[in-house]
Structure 1
Amino acid sequence: MNSSLIPKIYRHFFIGVTITLLVAAIELFSTGAIAQLLNRVEGILYDSRLVLTLPTTPQQFDETVVIIDIDDKSMAEQGRFPWSRSKMAELVSKLTEAGVIVIAFDIFFSEPEINPVSQIESEFPNFINSNKLTINEVKKKIDADSKFANVLSNNDTVLGFLLNNETHQQINPLPSSSVDWMLDDQKNSQFIEFSGAAVNIPTLQNKASGNGFINAHSENDGFIRKASLVHKVGNTLYPSLALEAARLYTLADKIETRSHILNNITLFDGIKFNDQWIQTDEYGKILIPYKGPAGSFTYYSATDILKNKIGESELEGSVAFIGTSAIGLADLRATPVGLQYPGVEVHANIFRGLIHPELLPAQPSWSSGATLLMIVVIGGLLTTLSYQKSARHIVVVTLGIAVLVTLFNFYLWTIEKISLPLFMPLLLITLLSGYYIFVGSIAEMKHSRKIKSMFDQYVPPDHINQLINQSSDLPQQSVKRNMTVLFADIRGFTSLSENMSAHQLSEYLNEYLSATTEIIFKHSGTIDKYVGDMIMAFWNAPLQDDDHAKHGVEAAMAMLKGLSSINQAFLEKNLPAISIGIGLNTADMNVGDMGSKYRKAYTVLGDAVNLGSRVESLTKFYEVAILVTKETMRACPHISFRLIDKVQVVGKTTATELFEPIDFTDSLNTTQLAELSKSEVAMTHYYNKNWQQSLSLLIELESTSVFSSHIYTVFIKRINETNLKTLSKDWNGAFRHQTK
């Protein structure tokens, strides 16, 4: 491993572990305002998940739960609420006649209704004393509370009462409880405890089949997401209205409790009625399985029941919750499925969940441990996958992990009915990704600036962008790779420059170099340097180019063709035309950011580079514009070449074959193709020592050539000057050049 990378690795993983541990600590130890804030955000996510996963068609069951609504219509037709107990008795009687099985009141009757006869007694005492017997009979007969109590006793009814801590205001005694709570389970219990209650008058309370509290407890943000099934008053546990209604519906005599003791603290496990087990948290709470928004249950206006407008078949076998949706009666609650949700419908949702426990989402005791495990896994995964990655890559990884975590959370909720916290894992993902994206963006900016500073003058702009987008390190360290190098020089530049002013010379060179550089850039080349009138360029670095030889030769041919327009511009300015020589070589070279600590440059080095320079210098000797080595020629099958010579340049012991690129093969005419074929035969005869056959072809080519004929003249002279007697036995035809 590169030792320079170790601090970067340590820093990256140290930050990742630190952020992960910080989030884990917040999950474990947050209290006060921080805990409230986290719970509020978690509540928002819980509400969103609940709403998004609500079925379009709620599951139907055998029993029907209905709401008997004391709505604005009922109060307009029957009078302001509270109504007379006689009217309430009539309502219960009509519901029973319609086939309702259980009737639960989200209402309590804490004061007796005034009997009209009692008012007469106070106004006319003498009259009452003389008719005492008759008056008592009338008083008893028209007593509304007695009528209501009588109706309650003949039906399965549950009365609601409100628990509070105002013991000094409690007038009526608490009812008996149907919850069977073992004495051993009462030590240091975690239930919400009350000291008093606003209960129904004994006349009604004692006649009802059951009694249940109607308290609804909202969380810190005011939303009702959980319901307490039991509350503690003294040493007694009291059931909720929905739980008591469920007990009556299932014909259970008692509600059993289960709990366990941990560290001398009683933690609640759940309740059981008629073999129905309901798991709760340690406080006796369940998550409310909301069926849908307000109105998900069937509503019947109380006045329509009283006026016999509802058919008996509609209510047959149902469970009715009597309450109100009227705004004026202030029983509207904030819930995940609605901000003005009737409180009576909250009880209906709880009842539905108790009868069908499969609807109840569980928040198991191990959820905190599962959340911590998820935080650790996510932290390790995201930290590992973000190492040395671009900001764009980190964004993709972050979104992928966030989506997977969310989908897994939704799967547990919808399929397994398990509610796990989602905010803390998402918070960790946000913090980690935010940090790594920020650091990655800064690194990319530095990377971009460094790339531009290194290559801005060397490579085309689109190559700069490609280099910036590369996720790997900068290509600055020297590496060996197969490349193509090009040298181009102006012929006779020294004599040309002697007749120009400094300003003219500057413009002259700038125009030529700019036009030539543009051609090299167009063919994916990299400018190495300018040395006076000489241009040095290479291919296959810094960006990989598998066709580097092809692009190099095509660039050289394009440079040659571009000279006509350059020279035309020079002639218009009364400047001399130029001719150039271009040499190319393809071989393994060293490329990288090289130089001293004071100045560096991205360049290529090696014998292959020097050979390219020697090849360019030979263009003048052979009077051709472009020369390439055999390796370069082999990589360009779409171009026709003419063998120029086999040479041994200064400083080299091996022979190098030189070729002149003529043109794209598809562009050549028959005359050109014929000459190339004849030239190849002549050169083959020459290297096979068939002097006369080679000489006759060369003489013919010298007089008829459509290309530069100087090479034929050179070989005719060599044959004529060759002394066959002194010719070495290992002669291979290579010509040794004595000068560079």
Structure 2
Amino acid sequence: MQRRSNPIRFFLLQISISLFVTLFVLALTQDFLFELPPLKNAELSLIDLRFRKRDVPRKEKDVVIVNISSDSYTALPARWPWPISYYTKLIKNLRRAGAKVIGIDIIFPPSPGTTTKEDLEFKKTLSEFSYTVLAGKVKSEETKFTLKQADQSYGNRFIDKNIRFGIVNLPSDIDEVRRRYMPFIYDENQNLRIPTFSMAVLNAYYNLENNITAELQEGAFHYNQKTIPLYDNTSFLINYYGPDSTFPRVDIADILDDSTLTTVDEETYGTQINTFDNPEYGVLHDKILTNKIVIIGSTDPEDKDLFLAAPSIKRLEDRMMYGAEIHANVIQSIIDNNFIRRQSQLLNFFIVFGLSLFTYVLTAGLKSIRTKYSVLIEILGVALILSELFIIYWASLQLFIEQNYLTDMTSPALAVIISYVSSTIYSYVSERRQKILIKGMFSQYVNPTIVDELVAHPEKLRLGGERKEVTVFFSDIENFTQISESIQPENLVTILNEYLSEMTSIIIEHNGTLDKYEGDAIVAFWGAPLPQTDHALRACRAAVRMQRRLEELRPQWKQQGKPELKIRIGINTGEVVVGNMGGANRFDYTVIGDSVNLGSRLEGANKQYKTKIMISESTYRYAKDFIYARELDLLVVAGKTEPIRVYELVGLTEEKLSHNQEQFLRMYTKGLTHYRQRDWQTAIGAFERALDLFPDDYPCQLYIERSDLYRSSPPPEDWNGVFILKTK
């Protein structure tokens, strides 16, 4: 016992130190107790780094900016601030040009005296074109979502309850960079939630009421059937499409300069230019604004609507972006469902803990090695730390670039560094007398649903099982032996792991339970441990999705010089014994029974018909209202005496068949009916017409061959159409 106690105590010490390092790192980096500006700035800078490292997405934008620049001031006859009639004309001309929504990122401050005729005309225009959104502004006395002080017009004299508007304030981080966006604020004085400017524009775009705001539920903002991941408790991260001027711009003077307005240049040169409605080059005719969201805002630095942002550019001076462009990025990202998901704090905890434990255990193990080459051991330890830091950097960068997934970088890096320092200190304190702790650990891969079931019913941990009707699933890679002999083992393992990962994720996505891997084969089932009334349909959907996913992957594999994997799938529904089976120290949650064996036989039977997905009659009976399938045959599988009716799963009813596919199935079914009626010639004709649509269909070819045979050598009178499958 004494010999065992030291390793156990050492292991618990490693766990304790790693847990302490984890809590210490998270306290420094996650703002739980306090905020350290240097670390906070480091993490924010690393976010900006990831923006700079990715390519700017190239796509047509739904947002156009009508900018007010210094050129605009000199082009128009009136001096700034312009009369409100300019904005009335602007809205009318934008409507003529086909703008779908207009957002005016300009504050019209309250004016002393009575309401002017121009103001009334502007209000009338706003009411006529209800998809115009005004901007409101609040002072900086907000706490999270809540405004403590705000006037009812939010600084804009045209705002009232009948006008669409949103708050244009942009929250900044401690380094004054605009990375985040708040979708709404709460006005405590008026007891209502106010959408921010971009969200108010989107309300108009989606034809929603202006008072609609995103709902904060389950760690995300939910808006118009979109889920916007949280960045912090009040905002989401802006997914910038590029630097300033990424979105197309039109100068406001080009919109106002129609046949009814004379610009300074027109007055000077005595010629009408009419950049808006000139039939040859006018904005009205070039369709740039048709069905677009138009954001009107200043791009003149003197207007002070210029902010530090985090787009994909390298020079600090080029990171300045005008407010209108920031709103355009927010709007476009929501339209595109192009959001940045931030790693959860729980996941960050486990990553930091895992890295702390891994680093501490590994470096402590290295330091416990007694050798005369101790310098090499130290170099190896430093190399390990540098490698971990590089992996953290590379993985975070790739996840951001490829998946729009934002991970913390400072906390894992700190965990690695502090764990290494802790290991070094402990090694010196204990005079490096610790021995390497080797402990065999066993684990089992289980679906999260199994965990939930076992948590609710711990008694299921006993050996044995229960009878249940489930749907079992078997898949196998075609010609896997030939493939495995043609490529290097390490390459085979790589593609096999990629294949199994993709297929397993589809099984889990459809709430299936992964039973086991048997080489390249996958065994799964639906309907246990949790009951599922539609387990047959779920299995069918998963099978179709797997085939579709492989169709997507094969071109990539071909381009990479990898084999283009194809699979056969067998599905059967029936009663099985399901539960934990094995020995007292090792058991698996699995299924056994004749129904399981039949599912395996159906997978193999695909070879006879050159089909991809074969399902039993029992599975078809449960799922027939939701799938397209054709009867293949009456089979007696190996080891059985009674025939079963089998089908090929063609597709899902939620995905409409093409006209050719419908005609093909109709001809095929007609041919099979005549075949069963011994009308060989009519059957051959129907199958041949089906082959005209899909010449490579092997079941049609097979039935033509059989019909030819029976036409010359008719089967006995008691023939029932059964085919006996000799192989497994």
TMscore range, shorter length: 0.3 to 0.5
TM, length-normalised to structure 2: 0.47
Q: Higher Cα Rg: structure 1 or 2?
A: 1
TM, length-normalised to structure 1: 0.46
